[in-house]
Amino acid sequence: MQHGQSRVQSLLINPDAHPDLPTAKAAAAAASAANLNIDDIQGDVLIGMKKNKELFYFFSIANARVFKRKLATDILLLITTTTQLLSVSTQPLTAHTIAFSQTGLKTLGVTDDLGDPAYAGGQFADLGNLGDPGSTNWVPEFKGTNIHGVLLFASDTEHNIHAAVAHLDAVLGNCVTKVYTLDGAARPGKEAGHEHFGFLDGISNPAVKGYESPVPGQAVVEPGTLLLGETGDTVKRPAWAKNGSFLVFRQLKQLVPEFNKFLTDNPIVKPGVLTPQQGSDLLGARMMGRWKSGAPVDLAPLFDDPALGADPTRNNNFTFVHPDVALATDQTRCPFSAHIRKTRPRADLGTPEEAVHHIMRAGTPYGPEVSDHEAATHTTSTERGLAFVAYQSNISNGFHFLQKAWADNANFVHAGTGVDPIIGALAGAQRVVSGLDPTDPTKTLTLTTDFIVSRGGEYFFAPSLSAISGTLAV
Ligand code: HEM
């Protein structure tokens, strides 16, 4: 058994461009001043996109009585807290996170209303709101409400993860049925931290008051934006739900060779300034709002600036406001439709920035690197993508809102902006996007392919450790 062994190197990755996690000492001091119990909050909620290897284990509960007993004894001991993750010396070999769907809680006999209609209905019932073209592309196991929970295993080696899964399988015996698993991993070598299209991810996650200090430009949120029952959460919750968080899981397949072909076929043309390759790179950067290095196009409008991308004190320090241009019309720097502008419009909606729509993204890429054959034929033959995970205290304000009201809404942030060219989806219909060409912002591009295909997912609740011992396991 691996529990209890100590580690010598972190199980997490820490790309230069990411703000560092707080030290355990600094987090403890901040949390104590803010009365936030980070020993009670599951570690994954506040850690962000720093997973090296991660396995998602979706299960249904076959015997609730036995499962509850195991939850109180063996499983509770395995769950990793926030504090534990902040020092290498206290990190386990494999970090464990557990979360339950609405049907999972009911199976455990917990019938309290958590106050989130999207969670209560489950993601399958919500797919019509998310732009998915029905459930044809959904992983069959995600259809319906049969998944009761998910366990997330995170470590720096597959060996550790497989040992942890084998241990848990032995502990659980047949009180649980394994419904589906997905293996995630940071991409190899210098691509670590980059999602499969090649862009560095996990740069802009919110800083939580009472836990960490923000880097310049980072959104600062009340703990209640992510955690139920904390300051900033305005919904009535059962007392035991305090310090839990809703975990949105989506398996988002990425058509990487097809995306690359689209960029090659549609370079931004600036004769004498950009080569065709640079024009294609610029189009990709404008669709995302950041270059592959992480540098924001708002601060590096024509060419990538890797030093800017790698510097967490500068790479988030922008609001789209510039003294020489009008915020409401100018797209020479960052298009209104860019993924990062759609999902965090910064000063577009006024200052101070709205507070309630921030999420903590904590996903991990899955699937292999693009093969030579796939690159040559511009066609995906093996699935890869993002095992998208987002934490928030309110799914209707968080993931669901960002996807529906902003990314899929052609008239956000201004009439005629078009949908988010990365994640925007219109139930399979072609997507029209404007503003991508800095030389002619009125020009539109029609995207006939969804480069991201939803394979479905589920809405879960990641309870605090005291809720597991005091309510769920009882
Ligand atoms: C395969 C799917 C996706 C890919 C490849 C992707 C990629 C990226 C990248 C490269 C960034 C910039 C790096 C950063 O700021 O951390 C980013 C930022 C972001 N993404 Fe995504 N993303 C995906 C899905 C989603 C979904 C489904 C949502 C929510 C509905 C979302 C919400 C956000 C948010 C809120 C930000 C930060 C914006 C900011 O604070 O400036 N993403 N994404």
* Residue indicated by tokens 């992510």: 226
Q: Determine how many CB atoms are found less than 10 A away from the CB of residue 311.
A: 17
Helix (H/G/I), strand (E/B), else coil: 315: coil
By alpha-carbon position, which residue is closest to atom 18 of ligand 1? 340
For ligand 1, is residue 215 a contact (CB within 6 Å)? Answer: no
**How close is the Cα of 339 to the center of ligand 1, in Å?**
7
For ligand 1, is residue 148 a contact (CB within 6 Å)? Answer: no
Q: What is the pTM of this model?
A: 0.98
Are 342 and 407 spatial neighbours (Cβ–Cβ below 8 Å)?
yes
For ligand 1, is residue 204 a contact (CB within 6 Å)? Answer: yes
Are 70 and 172 spatial neighbours (Cβ–Cβ below 8 Å)?
yes
* Structure confidence at residue 79 (pLDDT): 98
Helix (H/G/I), strand (E/B), else coil: 364: strand
Catalytic one among 201, 298, 437, 450?
Answer: 201
* Structure confidence at residue 6 (pLDDT): 74
* Structure confidence at residue 1 (pLDDT): 38
State the helix-helix crossing angle for 276-288 and 256-265, rounded to 10 degrees.
120
Task: Write the DSSP symbol of residue 23.
Answer: P
85: enclosing H helix or E strand: helix 82-86
74 Cα distance to chain centroid = 28
For ligand 1, is residue 252 a contact (CB within 6 Å)? Answer: yes
By alpha-carbon position, which residue is closest to atom 34 of ligand 1? 343
User: How confident is the chain (474 residues) per 10-residue block, as mean pLDDT?
Assistant: 70 97 97 96 97 98 98 96 97 98 98 98 98 98 98 98 98 97 98 98 97 97 98 97 98 98 98 98 98 98 98 98 97 98 97 93 98 98 98 98 98 97 97 96 94 98 98 96
**Is-catalytic flag, 74?**
no
Question: What residues are paired with 182 via a beta bridge?
Answer: 56
Residue 348: phi and psi, rounded to 5, are -55, -30
Q: Give the separation between CA 195 and CA 202, rounded to whole angstroms.
A: 9
Q: Give the separation between CA 397 and CA 467, rounded to whole angstroms.
A: 24
151: enclosing H helix or E strand: strand 149-155
- Asked if the peptide bond before residue 325 counts as cis, ω within 30 degrees of 0, the response is no
Q: Give the separation between CA 197 and CA 220, rounded to whole angstroms.
A: 28
**How close is the Cα of 199 to the center of ligand 1, in Å?**
10
Q: Which tokens go with 232? A: 């900033």
**How close is the Cα of 363 to the center of ligand 1, in Å?**
10
* Structure confidence at residue 4 (pLDDT): 53
